[in-house]
Every structure is written in structure tokens, then in C-alpha cells.
A and B are shown apart, each in its own frame.
Chain A
Amino acid sequence: MRLIQGNEACAEGAIAAGCRFFAGYPISPSSEIAEAMARMLPRHGGVFLQAEDELASLGAVLGAALGGTKAMTATSGPGFSLMQEHIGYGYLAEIPCVVVDVMRGGPSTGLPTQPSQGDVMQAQWGSHGDRAAVVLAPVGVQEVYDLTIQAFGLSETLRMPVTLLYDEVVGHMREGVDLAIPDPMTLGGRPRSSQPAGPSFRPYKANATGVAELPDFGRGYRFHVTGLMHDERGFPTTDTSVVAALLERLENKAQAAKDLVMPEAYLMDDATLVLVAYGITGRTAKAAVDTLRSRGIRAGLWRPRLLWPAQDEMLRGALQNAEMVVVAEMNRGQWAREVERVAAGSVILRPLLKAGGATITTEEMVGHALDMLEAPDIASPDRVSGRTTELYANISSGSAVALESKVVE
């Protein structure tokens, strides 16, 4: 057990997972990851490169990964914006790597050292074109360590960039962490081709799980890797059926993450008022659930560790007995849209949004929940942001949901 910071735990997790290449550019509040990697990698025979910008960082990471190394970069919002093109590249060319985004307030330079959960949608939709994403959201320092390791496992197994998304508070807070040596099973591994080298070699021929089995560069195979749409040979193509099949395969393979990263369900068995929160917000939400329970309200927490792809079925199952749902997040309403998509019409949903650079407190969550219990069918102004939740007004006023009891025993 060691007392370390979230960002240090990320570096420790990366090293434990076998990461041996890091390229990055200084940016708050993620810089400690680069600093820790700069200290640790030489000791482990790895390479640390401070790059000239975030594009160069992820470019170098993708190059190193193609050479056969597990590689990572870390950044914050502005740098994450710059990296979107390469995340798309890594996705299309099927190059494994881990991208860490320690969120701060945005848009633009925004709030460099204040927490935010404003990059949730960008993590899924930031690149142009259709791209599935695998995005993990740790709640605290221990989970940063554990999920960094799992991010490598997923990226290697699925051969795609995986994003670890957490905010400034998780990045900078210190907690005791068990730096357990990871189980080799969690580490996964790059699927390897059994095809012989030669002109008939198909680097982008997918295996049964829909993952291409590219060899590393310089291991006896000669092949082409491109960011253009390509066929199984890796050659550029504009054949519409080949392109459509490629996009479908890539999207499908990413869905496997849904069964590999489990959400946290806290006191959910009998919960009729469900708080949905992730990352640091999931932490205060847990305390809010305890407070609400102490007042006799059947509250529960559903906290996804995997934001993308969204675990629709699990969420639907979790909300089966719910009457009211609060989605709490530090932005103007991002993942709340996912919850609405899954639960619209079946529950009263009112998000608790806070996008000013501070975490949502337990008291704010409890107050929000109590307001909702008092007046469930009124789209009341959000007590934190002052914003009327118009987006969800139709759900509470227009739906046929009848609430027999506002306060559940």
C-alpha cells in the first residue's frame, strides 16, 4: 500500500501493465503522469519522449506501438482536442495504445487546474467520421491504477486506442493504493496472425472476434498500414461494400468492452431513486445515497466504469425498478443524454449539472434529490447551476408515469 497521487497511480499502472513507451507534452493537470513516466521508464528499459506537441506525442506512440511496444500518452482537454485525428487513425489502422485525458474545464484553454467532466462526449465523438470508443472512468486513485492496467489489456486485445478519462481532482488527490502485480489474464495480448508472410498475407484479415491480427513491423512480414479506408491487404479502397464492412467490424469489435468492465452498483437492489454518476462525482454520489438512506429514502448509486460504449442493457436493468433518476456530472449535460436515451419515458429523470470548476457536493446531491421527491413533475431550476432542465422537462411533464409516492419508505 502506497500513498500516491492519481496521476502517479496512472504511471504505476502503465508500468505494471508493461507500457514501455511514453510520449507527451506538458499540460495541466496531467503533467505528473509524464513526469512520473520520465523517472520510471528508463529504469524499466523503456523510452520517454517529450514531444513538440500533442499530435507528435500520439503520433510517436502509434509508431512505437506498431514496432511492438505497449505505449501511452497523457494530456488534458486542449491536448485531447489535438489528438483526435490520431485517435481516429489508431482506430482505423487498428493500433493499440492508451490515451489518458485528465479533464479540466473547457472549451479552449478554459480552467487549467480545476476539475471538469466536460470531455465525455469528445472522448466518444471527437474524431471525424464514425468511430466507436472504449473509455474508462476511474472514481479514485486505486481505480486509476486498476483501470490503467485494464485499459492496456483492452487496447491490446481489441487493437484500438483506449481512453482513460478522469478529472483534475482524481488526478491530484492522494490515497493509499495497492500496487498489485496484474493478473496476466487482465493484461490480454495482441492477437497474432498465423498466416505465412508473402504476397498473399492479409494483415487486416479479422479473427473470430473481429480484430485484425497485424504483426509488428520488422518481424518478417511486409505490409501496408494506412489511414485510408483499406481492404484486408491493407491497400486503399473506395469499394463501398468493403468500406461499410470495415466500419461495421471496427464498431462491433469495440462492443466486447461492455462485458469486460463492470459498473459499480451500490444499494441498488431496492432503490427507487437512483443516482447515476461516474468518476469523482460517483464518489460524492455514494455519500449522498448514504444520507438519503438515513432519511428513509430508498436511494442507490449506479456508477459506470465504462462510459463508452455505453452499457445500455446493464443500465436498463439497473433502472428497472427506479422511479426517479438523477444524473450528476460536472458539465452542462453530456452523459445524461445517454441515460435519457436508455430510460426516457420510464422514469423521471432530472440531471444535476455543475460546470464551473468545482465538484458536486454531497449536500447538493441530497438537496437535488429531495427537491425532486417533493415536486417530481415540475422542471425546477437546477439548484446548482441555476439552469432550468428544459431538455428533460418533456419527460417529467409529458410522460405517463404516475408517481404514487414521492418519498419511498
Chain B
Amino acid sequence: MSTVMDTDTDTAVDGAAGGSVAITGREKRLLRHAMMPHMLCPGCGHGIVLDAMLSVLSERYENLDNVAFVAGIGCSSRIIGYIDACTLHTAHGRPLSFATGLKLARPDLTVVVITGDGDGLSIGGNHLIHAARRNVDLTCVLLNNEIYGMTGGQAAPTTVLGAYTSTTPLGNTQHPFDAAELAKAAGATFVARSQSYRPQVFGELFSQALDHVGFSFLEVMSDCTEYFGRINRFGEGADMLMGQARYEPSIDADLARIPTVEPVTIKQPVRPVLPIGVLHRSSRLTLEETLGIEGGRSSGVAGGKVDDAVQRMNG
């Protein structure tokens, strides 16, 4: 009925609980063991994403010496600390700024940004659209759990209308962002969405995002059980995972059988049904190419350095 057990790892769905991530040997060598135990809550979807990410990375890299993970502030951003790479935990909302500077200075590095919906769309929203516009050769993974988890469950720019949070006790009144559409409109050349419910799909999309030359944006719907789930009575971690796949008949049938989850027909905030998969793909010169920086990857697009005029100006 679902793809959750078909993943290429044997990670348990609630493997993030209590610091005992069930993880196979292949990914294990990319984990930063000294940072354990981790700080994710029981049932949090972020651990699944981390595991799926490590799985992809372990297939691509022997070690992560030349891979930098740059993150902001929030639960999602903290997962980079568990990856044995060059990891840069920046200020709130700013990972794309740091990552842009790092990538331009070191085009030889693979730079992956991990951000959240508050970090990447609220306080860091301006940096997101400009990174997309510039088409810097980065991969940005935005974990969207629709709430500020780390600070205690306040409304985020992705919280759906009507949802209860600690700052929307009467229900959320602000319309949410569609992160993927935003990134696409801003000029991202690869845009995709996945779910923590489907780690295999996430893995495939993450892999494609890494392959893509230019700014690749991958939103992944994740769950905050401690705040978003609890306050809105969405059930526990597994229930919320299932909830990500609402409107799939087989899932709806399962949901109806789970007593802790109300059927979606009752009056409660309903998370929008968002398409998953690759939503947009195009080809454009990267910022590195237009700047004439050597050592990065080629987009294969004709053209290139545009600073000839600058050279002329300098005589």
C-alpha cells in the first residue's frame, strides 16, 4: 500500500526516536558519531530525511572531504551536525548567503544547503529568491514541517490556514507560501518536492538535484509531531507520515482505520495536497560561469563569462 517499507535502507520509520537511529553500515561511515545522541524529537520526520540523504551520499562518495553542508537555524538545520563533512551551521536564515560565498570561492566543492520553512522562507526568504535568480550551482533542501519547532511551535510562513500553533490560538489567518512555486518563479533551474513519507522518492530527487548543474531546490514535506501534530491532533509520527499521502485511496482507507487520526472530512486544518516529483527543470548559465570562475561544473549552455566589458573598461 505504501512505499515506506520499500526503501533501500532498513531505517525504521520512527528511527529518529531516542537517539537510536537504525541505520545500515553503508551510511554509518558518513555519520558524525561524536555528535550523537541527536536532538530530534520522537516521531520527527527529519531523521528519515537525514537517513535518506546519507544513503544517497554513501552511494556517491567514499568520504565527504569535498562536500560542504551549510545550514541555518532550526530543527532541520541541525541535522548537518550529524554528517561527517565540512559542516557550517550559520545564522538564522542566512545559509544561502554563506553557501554562495563558499561556492564562488571554492567552486570545486559540492555545496548542499539544508534549511527549514522558517529559516528559508521567512527570515531567509530574500536570500532564497536571489540564490535561485543567480543560479549558483548549489543544492538547497528545504525541510518543510509547517511550524517553528525549535522555538516551541509558532506559526510559520508555510502553516496552513486555520492551523493551530502557539501564536495562532484561534487558528492561522495568514495564507501559506508554496515554496517550490516560489523557487521556480525566482529562477531555480531544478525544482522538486518530496515527502519524508517517501524516503525512496526523496533519495531519487536528492540525487537528481545533486546532478543538476545550477540552483536545485528540493522541498521535502516533513512532520513536527511535538508541536504541529500535537496541537492540531494529527496523531503521532506514523500517523502524520500517512497524512502526507492523503487523498490516495489506499492511504485514506488506512487513515480511517487509525483511531488517533480523524478522517479528513471533519473540521480541522487540512494540509494542502501538494504535487511531488520534479516540478521544473531548465538549463541556464550558472553564476560561476557568467563570472568566469573556473573549477566548477558546466551547465552545457552556450555562452559564458560576461565580464569582457569589465576587462575592456580596465584597458
Contact = CB atoms under 8 A, between A and B. Distances in A.
Contact of A224 (B66, B87, B291): B87
Interface string A216-244: 11101111111110000101100000000
Interface string A32-52: 000000111011000101011
> Per DSSP, are chain B's interface residues mostly helix, strand or loop, or mixed?
mixed
A227 B91 contact: yes
Contacts of B64: 222
A268 to B, nearest CB: 44
Contact of B66 (A21, A89, A218): A218
Nearest to B108: A218
Nearest to B123: A55
B314 A63 contact: no
Contacts of B181: none
Contact of A56 (B102, B108, B130): B130
Contacts of B87: 222-225
A40 B104 CA distance: 17
Given A39-B314, A89-B91, A224-B87, A67 B105 contact: yes
Interface string A192-232: 00000001000000000000000011101111111110000
A42 B97 contact: no
Given A59-B97, A236-B81, A67 B35 contact: no
Nearest to B126: A52
B165 to A, nearest CB: 25
A52 B101 contact: no
Nearest to B32: A224
A68 B291 CA distance: 19
B166 interface: no
Contacts of B311: 42-43
B100 interface: yes
B307 interface: yes
> Per DSSP, are chain A's interface residues mostly helix, strand or loop, or mixed?
mixed
Given A60-B97, A71-B101, A218 B35 contact: no
Contact of A39 (B104, B108, B310): B310
Count class of interface residues, chain B: 35 or more
B68 A56 contact: no
Interface in A65-118: 65-69, 71, 85-86, 89
Nearest to B78: A236
Count class of interface residues, chain A: 35 or more
Given A224-B81, A235-B81, A59 B105 contact: no
A194 B67 CA distance: 22
B109 A64 contact: no
A47 B130 contact: no
A39 B130 CA distance: 22
A47 to B, nearest CB: 5
B218 to A, nearest CB: 20
A59 B314 contact: no
B97 A56 contact: yes
A62 B85 contact: no
Nearest to A219: B65
Contacts of B99: 63
Of A57, A66, A221, A236, chain B has the most CB atoms within 10 Å of the CB of: A66
A61 interface: yes
Nearest to B88: A225
A392 B98 CA distance: 45
Given A64-B101, A67-B106, A199 B86 contact: no
Interface in B1-50: 32-35
8 contacts: A38-B310, A49-B101, A51-B130, A60-B101, A63-B100, A217-B106, A224-B32, A236-B81
- 3 interchain residue pairs of minimum CB distance: A59-B97, A63-B101, A60-B101
Interface of A: 20-21, 23, 38-40, 42-43, 47, 49, 51-53, 55-69, 71, 85-86, 89, 199, 216-218, 220-228, 233, 235-236
